[in-house]
């Protein structure tokens, strides 16, 4: 019984805590100045900049893990040959609804963190019944 309890605790802890590498990439993205993701933005940490420019009723909810930016094909033979991009996800939440989504490029699997190449990989914001695709991070200021 004691062993079963230990196994259950281990499984719960390993499932609920993100990998250290993931945490490092998220911390890395949060600490980078917004200017590193978009040269037209100020040299303020990105996490802080988002809180400054987003309307009060919209929160930036940072994902806990680094992702492949949605680029995996599902075929390991193909994906193994690629240097997969790495992104941090940010969901823009208005009350309990999604108001937008940001994927911030922070590096690749083979090269690691790439501060000099950081940027908006993909993003959109919703305004009423319209969805606005973002090409640069500064365009998020269109959200009202």
Give this prediction's pTM.
Answer: 0.80
Interatomic CA distance for residues 113 and 132, integer angstroms: 29
53-77 confidence digits (pLDDT tens): 999 999 999 999 999 999 988 888 8
Q: CA–CA distance from 100 to each of 2, 29, 67, 81 (Å)?
A: 46, 18, 17, 32
Interatomic CA distance for residues 90 and 12, integer angstroms: 25
112-135 confidence digits (pLDDT tens): 999 999 999 999 999 888 999 999
Query: Does residue 61 contact residue 90 with C-beta atoms inside 8 Å?
Result: yes
Q: With residue 60 as reference, give the H or E element that holds it.
A: strand 58-67
29-39 confidence digits (pLDDT tens): 999 999 999 99
pLDDT of residue 144: 62
39-57 confidence digits (pLDDT tens): 999 999 999 999 999 999 9
């Amino acid at each position: 019984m004691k062993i079963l309890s230990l196994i259950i605790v281990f499984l719960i802890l390993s499932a609920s805590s993100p990998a250290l590498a993931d945490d490092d990439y998220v911390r890395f993205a949060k600490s980078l100045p917004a200017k590193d993701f978009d040269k037209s933005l100020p040299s303020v940490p990105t996490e802080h900049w988002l809180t400054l420019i987003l309307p009060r009723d919209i929160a930036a909810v940072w994902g806990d893990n680094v992702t492949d930016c949605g680029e995996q094909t599902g075929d390991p033979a193909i994906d193994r040959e690629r240097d997969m991009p790495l992104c941090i996800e940010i969901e823009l939440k208005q009350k309990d609804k999604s108001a937008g989504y940001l994927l911030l490029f922070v590096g690749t699997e083979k090269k690691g963190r790439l501060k000099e190449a950081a940027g908006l990989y993909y993003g959109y914001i919703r305004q009423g019944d319209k969805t606005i695709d973002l090409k640069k991070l500064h365009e998020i200021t269109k959200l009202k």
